[in-house]
Structures are given as C-alpha cells and as structure tokens.
Amino acid sequence: MDYLLQGFLQGFVLLFTGNAETYSAIWATVGASSLAMLCSISIGVPVGFLLGHNTFPGKKIVSTCVDTLLSFPTVVIGLLVYAFLTRHGPLGGTGLLFSIPGIALGQTLLGLPIIIAMTATAVEALDKRLPQTLITLGANPRQILWATVIEARFSIMLAAMAAYGRIVSEVGISMLVGGNIKWHTRTITTAIALETGKGEFAMGIALGMVLLAVALTVNIFASGLKRRAVQ
C-alpha cells in the first residue's frame, strides 16, 4: 500500500508543479477531443434530426446501423482509420496519420453514433404537433431544424456529454492513429498505459486523477441536464 500512497503524492506534485510531460498529454487530449466534439456535433445533430423527424424507406435499417455503431470497439475504429490514413491508403496523402487531427477524425467516428442516436430519440419524443405548427407559421426547413434543436436542447447537450465521456476515455484510436508520440500525440489514456507499463505509477496516477476529474464533471453536468430535461 505504501507505493500507492507514494504514487498519489508524487502524482499531486506532478500536477501542481506543472510537469511539462504530464501537461503535454493533457493538452493533446484536450485538443483532439475538442476537435472531435466540434465535428461530431456539427454532423451528428443535423443527421439525428433528419433521422428522428423524417420517415423514409430503410429508416429502420439506418437506425439499426447507428445503434450497432454505438458499441463498435474503439480499437477496430482505430484500425480502420489507420488503414485509410496510412501511406498506401486512400487518404495517405493528407498527412493526418500520427497527428492530433488524425486522432480527432477517429474520435469523431466514435462520437457520431452517440449524438445521432440520442438526437433522433430526443426529436422523436417531442410533441408531434410542433413541425406542423411551425409550417403553419411559415417556417422554412432551416427554421424548423433550429426550433426543434432548441426544444430538444437539454437532450442534445446530454448526448454531447455522453459522446465526450466516451471520446476522452478511449485508448485504441489514440494509440493506433496517433502513435503515442511523446510531446506530440501522447494523450492521457495512452500515457497512462505506457507509464504504468514502465512502472512509473506517479505519472499514471496523476493523469488518472485528471481523467477521473473529467468524468466526474461530465457526470455532474449530465445529471443536471437530465433533471432539466424532465422538468
């Protein structure tokens, strides 16, 4: 038990003294996850709206595919993205492999199904008279989309929180696509795996505490949003 206590103490020292290597992993995580969330929300909310608002042939198949992607292993997503971004892949010329934007691309594929599925569910749960009322008032499709998003805003924000929680804690995509390069693409999760394997418990615990703080913050916000949505 002594080594655990010592690890926690050293972890606090690394965090509060501004250890460069520790904060390099933190900022890499913040950069990749923020870019991934921006892309996921920009694409996922409109697609989720269309899936929840419209009825079209094959809708059940599309919904089933989205639901299936919710449990897609992150390491498989990382493998597929790596295959596309490698030098011999169709996107090899983009130079995204072993970069923060490349990690964000893979994480976007991880977060998209969550936002699409939860947005579609939120839209389907709204009052069915809302679209007809907006059309009667002369709203165009863009205005209908915006009004529906505003009405379902708490559920959509909850979807974003759920997606962020999964994105920030994944390992497979960051390891395969980012390459776990020190000072460049090493994220919190890949640094924890590497440093713990090397026996460097202090840095692993320090980064683990950051990850737990993020998870706690996300859960607090999610609980608040659930209460607001119910009200």
- Whether the CB-CB separation of 172 and 75 falls below 8 Å is answered with yes
Please state, in angstroms and rounded to a whole number, the distance separating the CA atoms of residues 211 and 99: 21
Question: Cβ atoms within 10 A of the Cβ of 202, count?
Answer: 21
Chain segment 29-76, per-residue pLDDT in tens: 999 999 999 999 999 998 998 888 888 888 889 888 888 888 888 899
Nearest C-alpha neighbor of 175 from the set 84, 96, 78, 86: 78
Going from N- to C-terminal start, the domains of the chain cover 2-230
Helix, strand or coil, per DSSP, at residue 113: helix
Chain segment 68-110, per-residue pLDDT in tens: 888 888 899 999 999 999 988 888 888 888 999 999 999 999 9
φ, ψ dihedrals at 56, nearest 5°: -150, 160
Question: Cβ atoms within 10 A of the Cβ of 124, count?
Answer: 13
- What is the CATH class of 2-230? mainly alpha
